[in-house]
């Protein structure tokens, strides 16, 4: 089933045109306007004039391992970034910059917005070889204007989708959670340091069932093991607290 998450081609083309008109003064800088559900990061949409890279990016669900996007989940102010960016937790993620370099994505400036529908919204301006030498200074001087552009363009997007969809359909886009109830319970107790055997006792399920749900979480988050899934779940605030009936 195709995702309903901000996938209307006509609306997105209108937003793309609006962005490009308003970014003309920066010599048509490459940009990415992205929206990610904080409830279910698999719900992800992006509008960009850096098409080839971001088609590759979305096809591989790189929003789960992108240190720039993960960093924005814990801040509200704009920031410059390059391949040396680190996450506050110190967690190590696969270095997508090794692949991004092939598309001339080396560094940039990202603006952040957390909207009322529990979405993380960003506008990333990519400073590649085609930019003016003083582009970093220009962006810094215009950061308030660019932050307002992000707010305005996202407001336009939300308004257009409200016109397209009735309220119930629109709300459904933002309510589906990534992890099932049982998957959340298992990964929560794992994040609390419980062994698989202890989790099985707490939840009253078999050890093989615990391992099955852990495997599902690892697959959904696009990571390689349970430890990485726990770190990413904590970073993106995907793990909801649960309580044992025995407490």
CATH number for the domain spanning 217: value is: 1.10.10.10
Which pLDDT band holds residue 10 (cuts at 50, 70, 90)? confident
Q: Has residue 186 been placed in a domain?
A: yes
Of residues 134, 111, 137, the one with CA closest to residue 122: 111
CB atoms within 10 A of CB 30: 23
Residue 72, both tokens: 């924005």
Q: For residues 136 and 231, state if they share a domain.
A: no
Q: For residues 32 and 105, state if they share a domain.
A: yes
Q: Has residue 246 been placed in a domain?
A: no
CB atoms within 10 A of CB 119: 23
Instruction: Average the pLDDT over 200-229 and give the result.
Output: 89
Q: Has residue 23 been placed in a domain?
A: yes
Q: For residues 196 and 212, state if they share a domain.
A: yes
Q: For residues 143 and 62, state if they share a domain.
A: yes
What percent of the chain is predicted at pLDDT more than 70?
A: 87
Q: Has residue 247 been placed in a domain?
A: no
Question: Do 30 and 125 contact (CB within 8 A), yes or no?
Answer: yes
Domain count, the chain: 2
Q: For residues 138 and 204, state if they share a domain.
A: no
DSSP string over 161-194: HHHHS-HHHHHHHTT--SS-HHHHHHHHHHHTT-
Q: Has residue 82 been placed in a domain?
A: yes
DSSP string over 42-67: T-EEEEES-HHHHHHHHHTTGGGT-H
Q: For residues 27 and 149, state if they share a domain.
A: yes
Q: For residues 49 and 164, state if they share a domain.
A: yes
Q: For residues 211 and 146, state if they share a domain.
A: no
Total residues belonging to the chain: 247
Q: What is the pLDDT of residues 43-95, one digit of tens each?
A: 999 999 999 999 999 999 999 989 999 999 989 999 999 888 866 555 555 67
- Alpha-carbon distance of 72 to 77, in angstroms, equals 8
Q: For residues 168 and 68, state if they share a domain.
A: yes
Q: For residues 141 and 159, state if they share a domain.
A: yes
Q: Is 191 exposed, middle or buried (0-12, 13-18, 19+ CB in 10 A)?
A: middle
- Alpha-carbon distance of 158 to 184, in angstroms, equals 30
Q: Has residue 3 been placed in a domain?
A: no
Q: What is residue 109's predicted lDDT score, i.e. its pLDDT?
A: 96
Q: For residues 210 and 91, state if they share a domain.
A: no
Q: What is residue 221's predicted lDDT score, i.e. its pLDDT?
A: 77
In this predicted structure, the answer to whether residue 158 has a pLDDT above a threshold of 70 is yes
Q: What is residue 2's predicted lDDT score, i.e. its pLDDT?
A: 42
Among 125, 149, 173, where does a domain finish?
Answer: 173
CATH code for position 150 = 3.30.450.80
Q: Has residue 1 been placed in a domain?
A: no
CA–CA distance from 48 to each of 69, 78, 127, 151, 229 (Å)?
15, 18, 14, 17, 29
Q: Has residue 139 been placed in a domain?
A: yes
Among 140, 173, 206, where does a domain finish?
Answer: 173
Question: Do 71 and 79 contact (CB within 8 A), yes or no?
Answer: yes
Instruction: Work out the mean pLDDT of the chain and round it to a whole number.
Output: 86
- Alpha-carbon distance of 64 to 66, in angstroms, equals 6
- Alpha-carbon distance of 113 to 73, in angstroms, equals 9
Question: 198 or 83, which is more confident?
Answer: 198
Q: What is the dihedral of CA 207, 208, 210, 215, to 10 degrees?
A: 150
Q: What is residue 94's predicted lDDT score, i.e. its pLDDT?
A: 60
> Can you list the alpha helix ranges (DSSP code H) found in the chain?
9-22, 51-59, 67-72, 97-100, 135-141, 143-164, 167-173, 181-191, 196-203, 207-221, 226-235
For residue 20, give its domain range.
Answer: 9-173
In this predicted structure, the answer to whether residue 187 has a pLDDT above a threshold of 70 is yes
Which pLDDT band holds residue 1 (cuts at 50, 70, 90)? very low
Q: For residues 204 and 142, state if they share a domain.
A: no
In this predicted structure, the answer to whether residue 169 has a pLDDT above a threshold of 60 is no
In this predicted structure, the answer to whether residue 218 has a pLDDT above a threshold of 70 is yes
In this predicted structure, the answer to whether residue 12 has a pLDDT above a threshold of 50 is yes
């Amino acid at each position: 089933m195709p995702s309903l998450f901000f996938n209307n081609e006509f609306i997105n083309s209108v937003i793309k045109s609006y962005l490009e008109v308003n970014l003309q003064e920066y010599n048509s800088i490459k940009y990415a306007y992205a929206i990610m559900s904080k409830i279910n990061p698999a719900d992800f949409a992006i509008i960009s004039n850096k098409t080839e890279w971001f088609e590759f990016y979305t096809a591989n669900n790189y929003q789960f391992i992108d240190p720039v996007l993960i960093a924005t989940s814990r801040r509200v102010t704009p920031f410059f970034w390059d391949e040396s960016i680190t996450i506050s937790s110190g967690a190590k993620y696969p270095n997508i910059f090794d692949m991004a370099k092939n598309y001339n994505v080396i560094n940039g400036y990202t603006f952040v917005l957390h909207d009322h529908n529990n979405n993380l919204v960003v506008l990333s301006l990519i400073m590649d070889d085609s930019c003016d030498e003083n582009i970093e200074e220009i962006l810094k001087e215009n950061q308030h204007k660019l932050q307002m552009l992000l707010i305005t363009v996202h407001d336009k997007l939300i308004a257009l989708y409200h016109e397209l969809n009735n309220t119930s359909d629109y709300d459904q886009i933002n309510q589906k959670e990534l992890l099932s109830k049982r998957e959340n319970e298992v990964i929560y107790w794992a994040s609390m340091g419980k062994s698989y055997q202890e989790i099985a006792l707490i939840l009253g399920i078999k050890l093989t069932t615990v391992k099955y749900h852990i495997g599902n979480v690892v697959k959904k988050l696009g990571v390689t093991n349970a430890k990485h899934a726990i770190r990413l779940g904590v970073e993106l605030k995907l793990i909801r607290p649960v309580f044992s009936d025995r407490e």
